[in-house]
Structure 1
Amino acid sequence: MVDATPAGSVPSAYNNTGYPIPDWLNKGDNAWQMTAATLVGMQSVPGLVVLYGSIVKKKWAINSAFMAFYAFAAVLICWVIWAYKMSFGEKLIPIWGKAGTVWGYKTLQAQATLPATTTVDVSFEAPFYPMATMIYFQFVFAAITLILLAGSVLGRMNFIAWMLFVPLWVTFSYSIGAFSLWGGGFLFQWGVIDYSGGYVIHLSSGVAGFTSAYWVGPRLTADRERFPPNNVLLMLAGAGLLWLGWAGFNGGDPYAANVDSSIAVINTNVCAAMSLLTWTILDVIFFGKPSVIGAVQGMITGLVCITPAAGVVQGWAAMIMGILSGSIPWYTMMIVHKRSRILRHVDDTLGVFHTHAVAGSLGGICTGLFAQRNLANYFLSRLNEQGAFYGGHSGGRQFAKQLCGALFIIAWNLVVTSIILNVIRLVVPLRMSEENLLIGDDAVHGEEAYALWGDGEKYDITKHGTSEYDDTQHGLGSLNVRPHVPAPNSGPSAAPNVEL
């Protein structure tokens, strides 16, 4: 085929296609940013929906998956009505933006901008794609934060209370952290590094999750003592979506398809792999067996730890961070947790405190150690800052900034999450009733995850008498239910229901 494009002209694919194309639109940046956002969205739906529904006891599979599914939808509605501008709009106070809607076509088609992010060193360059892309990209981060938080209260939180908690927490907690560190707030202006959410997402969800677990209360004793995954293979599938989705999580935060985006992606995978291997080796050394659940936890702590540093550290630093994230959270979960009265008292279902709060704060501190100046200049609001490992006055200063940023996020989430939950408990109970806790999904939602016998319906012996059920063709053997013979002076209420 002969190329008919005149020399020096733009290929037809990049020309006007029937509607105005602004000069600032970069199709490559826009395509990558939307792809990155979709990858992060898939970490939640279906990633964490599948992981949560599989890693819990069978009777809580639907409830756990639905908590994630609901949060994803609820956060989006809050985001476009008021929460996006509170997180990334014009400054109202140093920790909060002015609330407002972002659903008008003029807003969505305008060039993306973060109006409060100009500093004394750097004037934020507007990305080369529309606001619609930026709003979508930032939404999926807000959504996954609530879903990660949910991991601390699986298996007992009243679903109505969860429905109220999600919009309140995204409004009064998430938006504060996002604006303070990313949207132009005081920590952003000061130069605290949180490349992609080690503080805004992981530290906040870990601390708020632990706080929520305290106020909601524990699971039933039987559930705490024995809580086996109902499907380990599906759990691994959800974990795999989480891992690969992290390419968008960290690779999208330079807001462009640039060199720093590529560095962030490779650092992310190196740290996750090293952390998984470290956790697995420790399991073998101390417990004699490699744990699949342990490997997933190690993968997660590695991904969390590298998140605040992904694009500002070198590859060797990412590997060191992987070793630290596979060992320090392992130690806090396996050793410290068993010795601490506070940690044992609070029923953090999936150990979100260890996998996200500990790993997130560790990542932020390591950022203060290993941030490399040239890489940091791609991202930082203040120029020529570097980690303490490289020495100099700026190195120690950056390390101190990282500590202060972590303390602010911890304190805010402890206080605000407690206030939100205590307000909600005035309206509805935070914890399910004992009856619902005993039964699980069928009591809470009227649905069950698996139809293990026939069609999964309940068989009432008092109504149907003898039942012959044979499913040998499916490898389940046969189940014969004998006629019910009432005990003397007993009524129909004495007859049990047998679930087939």
Structure 2
Amino acid sequence: MSFQYEGNVGSQYNFTTTNWLDTGDNAWQLTAASLVGLQSIAGLTILYAGIVPSKWAINSAFMVIYAFSATLIVWVLWAYKMSFGTYMLPFVGRPGPVVTMAQELGQSQLPSTSPVLFQNFPLSTMVYFQFVFAAITIIITAGSFLCRMSFTAWVIFVPLWITFSYAIGAYSIWGGGFLWQMGVIDYSGGYVIHISSGTAGLVGAYFIGPRSAADSNDLRPNNVLSVLAGAGILWIGWNGFNGGDPYAASADAGAAVLNTNVCTAMSLLCWTICDTIYKGKPSVIGAVQGMITGLVAITPCAGVVAGWAAIAIGFASGTIPWVSLKIMHKKVPYLRDIDDTLDVFHTHCVAGFVGGFSVGLFATLEGCVAFGANSVGGAIEGNGRQVWLQIVGALFIIGWNILWTSLIMCFIRDVLHIPLCMSEDELLKGSDMIHGEAAYVLCPCEAHEHLLAGNHNKRSQTGPGELEMGGVTLGGQTMEGV
């Protein structure tokens, strides 16, 4: 049986290709979204699990997977429309669900922009693409909280922060809010994602408190190769991160991808050189940090700056955040006293500001036109006002996140009476106690069932032929020299 429809019903039901659907744009947008999704539940899951002590590997990875899942449900029920829906206030859209087939098959649009901007793919593609950005933002924030935040507190923090913090920044800059109307440029999330996550991470870490003394004194990753694998997924996934934000398989998408990789390579090299000069040897973890700061710094300007500017921005992102982390962090009491586990403030907030400020300096007229930005370019085009607009945008994101991250943490702690930090026993035993699972189990046998059950023995408590490494179960013959 076949059904006949009259007129352009595709915008309502989309059973066939419609006159607004560009299959190339839709295919690229879904591909870009999938690359960004892989950055989270593959890239950062692996990176976090490898960079922390082994007893925290399971807990850290699970924080990522939970946040990814919880954000998606919040996103489709109310947060997407708060971020990209119809006008309610200058900084937020009207909340509501996006769960009907008519919505999912209809054409994507940004109803709060003037004129209204339409995309040549369905709303379902746009919702998923924007969701993976929201998810990775809260997951980056988690990097500041690893190795001590109560999992129950994390469960509550995620939906509240996406609702009251992320959605406001997204609408204000991307969804047609007041910063978009002013002409602030954030190509792909240097402000909405990185400055917000870096600020929220620092503030949240203050409220949660520091890690245990034992964890603070031993900062060695449990698996550097896993860190590199996760970082590699993060780097290549960034091609979708920045390449997807023209909302089209356009020439500007190609420019954004090339600039992203050029800036990142330059930043990694500069950070490595700084490490070598300062410490006398290059650091693999330092190279990963330089890679991340390069990715972050190019994000707000990827498709609006020229290649030479991408190199200059890479130099800045490989040196300025390095100075803020290695030197300023030790000299500023407030920063020194806050335990930001993965230095998210420096690698994301500072680097995001470097990139956002660079937009004001280096944005080109051609790039802004190709992207469709509400600007004629930066200072190199004679528009020095763009520098101040970028500063205003950064200050709003920083201020809003300081306020709402503080309020959410206080609500969880003082109203719900849920501890923000784990108990002393949980801090000692890690994932084995919290989740009843060990990250690595080697040669399991009956003699080690107590470890698999979540009991954590110290080296002094193990018998002959047993070795306890915190999250690692080893059995069999004695390992000499370990």
On whether the aligned pair clears a TM of 0.5, the verdict is: yes
Please name the residue that 1:9 is paired with: none
- Answer whether contact 2:275 2:281 (CA < 8 A) is retained: yes
Q: Does 1:429 align with 2:390?
A: no
- Answer whether contact 1:62 1:448 (CA < 8 A) is retained: yes
User: After alignment, is 426-435 or 313-322 more displaced?
Assistant: 426-435
Report the Cα offset of residue 377 of structure 1: 1.6
Matches within 5 A, 1:159-308: 159-308=151-300
Classify 1:335/1:469 alpha carbon distance in 2 versus 1 (closer, same or farther; 3 Å). Answer: closer
Q: TM-score, normalised by structure 1?
A: 0.87
Report the Cα offset of residue 168 of structure 1: 0.2
Aligned residues: 448
Match of 2:131, as an amino acid? F
Which one of the candidate residues 63, 83, 89 is aligned to 2:59? 63
Let me know the Cα RMSD of the aligned residues: 1.9
- Answer whether contact 1:157 1:216 (CA < 8 A) is retained: yes
User: Aligned partners of 2:208, 2:175: CA distance in 1, in Å?
Assistant: 32
User: Aligned partners of 1:355, 1:89: CA distance in 2, in Å?
Assistant: 31
Classify 1:433/1:470 alpha carbon distance in 2 versus 1 (closer, same or farther; 3 Å). Answer: closer
Which one of the candidate residues 91, 95, 106 is aligned to 1:110? 106
User: Aligned partners of 2:463, 2:255: CA distance in 1, in Å?
Assistant: 64
Report the Cα offset of residue 379 of structure 1: 2.6
User: Aligned partners of 1:434, 1:252: CA distance in 2, in Å?
Assistant: 44
Give 5+ residue unaligned stretches, structure 1: 1-17, 481-500
Which one of the candidate residues 376, 381, 386 is aligned to 2:377? 386
Match of 1:409, as an amino acid? I
Q: Does 1:22 align with 2:22?
A: no
Match of 1:432, as an amino acid? M
Q: Does 1:365 align with 2:381?
A: no
User: Aligned partners of 2:372, 2:145: CA distance in 1, in Å?
Assistant: 35
Match of 2:145, as an amino acid? V
Cα deviations by residue, 1:108-133 (Å, 9 ceiling, x for unpaired): 00011010111xxxx34411110000
- Answer whether contact 1:313 1:371 (CA < 8 A) is retained: yes
Identity of paired residues, percent? 58
Please name the residue that 1:11 is paired with: none
Q: TM-score, normalised by structure 2?
A: 0.90
Report the Cα offset of residue 339 of structure 1: 1.2
User: Aligned partners of 1:183, 1:85: CA distance in 2, in Å?
Assistant: 9
1:230 counterpart SS class: coil
- Answer whether contact 2:150 2:420 (CA < 8 A) is retained: yes
Which one of the candidate residues 296, 301, 309 is aligned to 2:301? 309
Match of 2:207, as an amino acid? W
Cα deviations by residue, 1:292-329 (Å, 9 ceiling, x for unpaired): 00000000000000000000000000000000000000
Which one of the candidate residues 29, 34, 38 is aligned to 2:30? 34
Classify 1:215/1:27 alpha carbon distance in 2 versus 1 (closer, same or farther; 3 Å). Answer: same
Report the Cα offset of residue 21 of structure 1: 2.0
Please name the residue that 1:478 is paired with: 477
Query: Which structure has the bigger radius of gyration?
Result: 1
User: Aligned partners of 1:334, 1:125: CA distance in 2, in Å?
Assistant: 44
Please name the residue that 1:87 is paired with: 83
Please name the residue that 2:11 is paired with: none
Give 5+ residue unaligned stretches, structure 2: 1-13, 468-473
2:119 counterpart SS class: coil
Q: Does 1:458 align with 2:450?
A: yes
User: Aligned partners of 2:16, 2:95: CA distance in 1, in Å?
Assistant: 30
Q: Which runs of 4+ in 1 moved over 6 A?
A: none
1:113 counterpart SS class: strand
- Answer whether contact 2:150 2:421 (CA < 8 A) is retained: yes
